[in-house]
C-alpha cells in the first residue's frame, strides 16, 4: 500500500512564503465538502514557517522551517477525535468538518501545535495535504507545486520504501521524541535544532600573516572526539550539528607548518564563534 509523505529540505527553504500563500489561496473562503471548511482570512497558519538565527557576528545564519500537520500514523488527534478525525489508508489525516464542530479539545491533542481553532465556525482545522486535489488526480499538493527552490517534495510510496529513503537521505521528523510516527520528514534539520562551532585560523611566519588552509580542527569534549574538520582556503572552519548542551569542550588546531594550539570553549544553548586563532610559525 502506497502512502503520502512530505519531504522538506531545510537547507533549500528561503522563506519566500509561497507555500503559506497557496495554502491561504486554496482554503480561505472555500468550503471543500468532506475535507475542510473555509480557513479564516486572518489568524491561521496551516503552513507555518518558523525561523531561527544561529551564531553571532560575523558568522550569523537564519534557518527557516516550514511546519504543518505531520499526518502522523500514531496521531494523538485521531485518538482524541473519537471518530471526528480520520486516518485515511493513504496516510492522510483529515479532521472531519461536520463531526468535529465544537471539539476544541482536538486542538489541544496535537503536540505539534498544528491544529488551529476556527472561532467563527467553532471548528478545529489543519493542513489536509490537499487531499481533495490528490483525490482528483493531482500529483502533488499545491505547496510543493509552488515552491521555487524544490525544498518541498511529496511522494507516495510504501512505508518500507520510505524507511529506506529516510535512512539513505538522512531524513528525520521534527520531534522524534514525541513518537507519533509523522509522515512529514526533514532533511538538514540540524540547521534548526543543533548548534555550530566556527572560526578562522591565521598563521604568521617570516613577518607575513595569511590564512591557514587545510589545518586540522578537532573538537573534543573531555576524552571524546566530537568532530573533525579542516580549514578552507580562507582559513575558516565550521563544525555543525552539535548538541546545545555539550558543555566544556576543547578545539585543537594542528598544521604541519605551525605548533598545535588548543582553545577551551563552552557550548551551551548557542552556536560558538571562536575569536580569530593566530598560529605563530618560525620567523
Ligand atoms: S515555498 Fe519553498 S522556499 Fe518558499 S517558504 Fe515554502 S518551503 Fe520555503
Ligand atoms: S501533527 Fe497533530 S494534527 Fe497532525 S496528525 Fe499529528 S497529532 Fe494530528
- Between 247 and 118, the more confident residue is 118
The pLDDT tens digits for 222-265 are 878 999 999 999 999 999 999 998 899 999 999 999 999 999 99
Residue 221 sits in a domain of what CATH number? 2.60.40.10
Q: How many CA atoms lie within 13 A of 209 on its CB side?
A: 8
Distance, CA of 119 to CA of 75 (rounded, Å): 23
Nearest to 241 by CA among 51, 63, 15: 63
Last residue of a domain, one of 150, 167, 192: 192
Residue 188 sits in a domain of what CATH number? 3.30.70.20
Rounded to 5 degrees, φ, ψ at 79 are -65, -45
Is the CB of residue 16 below 6 angstroms from any atom belonging to ligand 1?
yes
Number of compact structural domains in the chain: 2
3 state DSSP class of 210: strand
If you measure from the C-alpha of residue 115 to the centroid of ligand 2, how many angstroms do you get, rounded to a whole number? 7
Would you place residue 1 in the very low, low, confident or very high pLDDT band (cuts 50, 70, 90)? confident
- Please tell me the number of the ligand nearest to residue 94's CA: 2
Q: Give the pocket of ligand 2 (CB within 6 Å).
A: 69-72, 75-77, 93, 110, 112, 114-115, 126, 180
Mutate to test the pocket of ligand 1, among 9, 13, 45, 174 (most ligand atoms within 8 A of CB): 13
What pairing do the DSSP bridges indicate for beta strands 184-187 and 3-9?
parallel
- For residues 152 and 272, membership in a common domain is answered with no
Q: Does the structure show a pLDDT above 90 at 206?
A: no
Task: For residue 44, give the C-alpha cell.
Answer: 491561521
Mean pLDDT of 39-53: 97
- For residues 244 and 115, membership in a common domain is answered with no
- For residues 72 and 105, membership in a common domain is answered with yes
3 state DSSP class of 138: coil
- For residues 118 and 204, membership in a common domain is answered with no
Nearest to 6 by CA among 21, 25, 19: 19
- For residues 184 and 248, membership in a common domain is answered with no
Last residue of a domain, one of 144, 171, 192: 192
What is the per-residue pLDDT for 98? 97
- For residues 180 and 224, membership in a common domain is answered with no
- For residues 46 and 58, membership in a common domain is answered with yes
DSSP 166-189: HHHHT-B-TTGGG----SEEEEST
- For residues 65 and 164, membership in a common domain is answered with yes
- Please tell me the number of the ligand nearest to residue 182's CA: 2
Last residue of a domain, one of 163, 192, 221: 192
Q: Does the structure show a pLDDT above 60 at 283?
A: no
- For residues 160 and 77, membership in a common domain is answered with yes
If you measure from the C-alpha of residue 168 to the centroid of ligand 2, how many angstroms do you get, rounded to a whole number? 25
Rounded to two decimals, the pTM is: 0.91
- For residues 207 and 125, membership in a common domain is answered with no
- For residues 128 and 210, membership in a common domain is answered with no
Is residue 212 within 8 A of residue 233, CB to CB? The reply is: no
Is the CB of residue 63 below 6 angstroms from any atom belonging to ligand 1?
no
Is residue 261 within 8 A of residue 237, CB to CB? The reply is: no
Ligand 1 atom with the shortest distance to the CA of 49: 5
Q: In terms of residue numbers, what domain contains 61?
A: 3-192
User: What size, in residues, is the chain?
Assistant: 283
Mean pLDDT of 260-282: 91
- Please tell me the number of the ligand nearest to residue 114's CA: 2
- For residues 133 and 49, membership in a common domain is answered with yes
Would you place residue 17 in the very low, low, confident or very high pLDDT band (cuts 50, 70, 90)? very high
Is residue 132 within 8 A of residue 169, CB to CB? The reply is: no
If you measure from the C-alpha of residue 55 to the centroid of ligand 1, how many angstroms do you get, rounded to a whole number? 23
Amino acid at each position: 500500500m502506497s502512502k503520502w509523505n512530505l519531504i522538506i529540505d531545510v537547507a533549500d527553504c528561503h522563506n519566500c512564503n509561497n507555500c503559506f500563500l497557496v495554502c491561504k489561496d486554496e482554503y480561505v473562503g472555500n468550503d471543500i465538502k468532506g475535507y475542510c471548511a473555509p480557513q479564516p482570512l486572518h489568524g491561521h497558519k496551516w503552513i507555518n514557517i518558523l525561523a531561527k538565527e544561529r551564531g553571532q557576528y560575523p558568522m550569523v545564519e537564519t534557518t527557516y522551517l516550514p511546519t504543518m500537520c505531520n499526518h502522523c500514523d500514531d496521531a494523538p488527534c485521531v485518538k482524541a477525535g473519537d471518530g471526528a478525525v480520520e486516518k485515511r489508508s493513504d496516510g492522510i489525516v483529515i479532521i472531519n468538518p461536520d463531526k468535529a464542530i465544537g471539539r476544541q479539545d482536538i486542538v489541544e491533542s496535537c503536540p505539534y501545535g498544528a491544529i488551529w481553532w476556527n472561532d467563527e465556525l467553532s471548528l478545529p482545522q489543519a493542513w489536509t495535504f490537499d487531499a481533495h486535489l490528490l483525490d482528483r488526480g493531482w500529483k502533488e499538493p499545491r505547496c510543493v507545486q509552488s515552491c521555487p527552490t524544490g525544498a518541498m517534495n511529496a511522494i507516495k510510496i510504501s512505508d518500507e520504501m520510505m524507511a529506506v529513503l529516510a535512512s539513505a537521505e538522512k531524513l528525520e521528523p521534527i520531534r522524534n521524541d514525541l513518537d507519533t510516527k509523522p509522515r512529514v520528514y526533514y532533511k538538514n534539520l540540524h540547521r534548526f535544532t543543533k548548534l555550530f562551532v566556527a572560526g578562522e585560523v591565521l598563521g604568521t611566519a617570516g613577518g607575513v600573516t595569511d590564512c591557514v588552509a587545510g589545518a586540522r580542527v578537532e573538537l573534543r569534549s573531555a576524552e571524546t572526539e566530537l568532530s573533525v574538520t579542516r580549514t578552507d582556503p580562507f582559513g575558516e572552519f565550521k563544525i555543525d550539528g552539535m548538541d546545545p548542551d555539550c558543555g566544556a569542550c576543547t578545539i585543537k588546531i594542528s598544521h604541519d607548518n605551525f605548533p598545535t594550539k588548543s582553545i577551551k570553549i563552552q557550548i551551551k544553548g548557542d552556536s560558538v564563534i571562536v575569536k580569530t586563532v593566530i598560529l605563530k610559525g618560525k620567523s
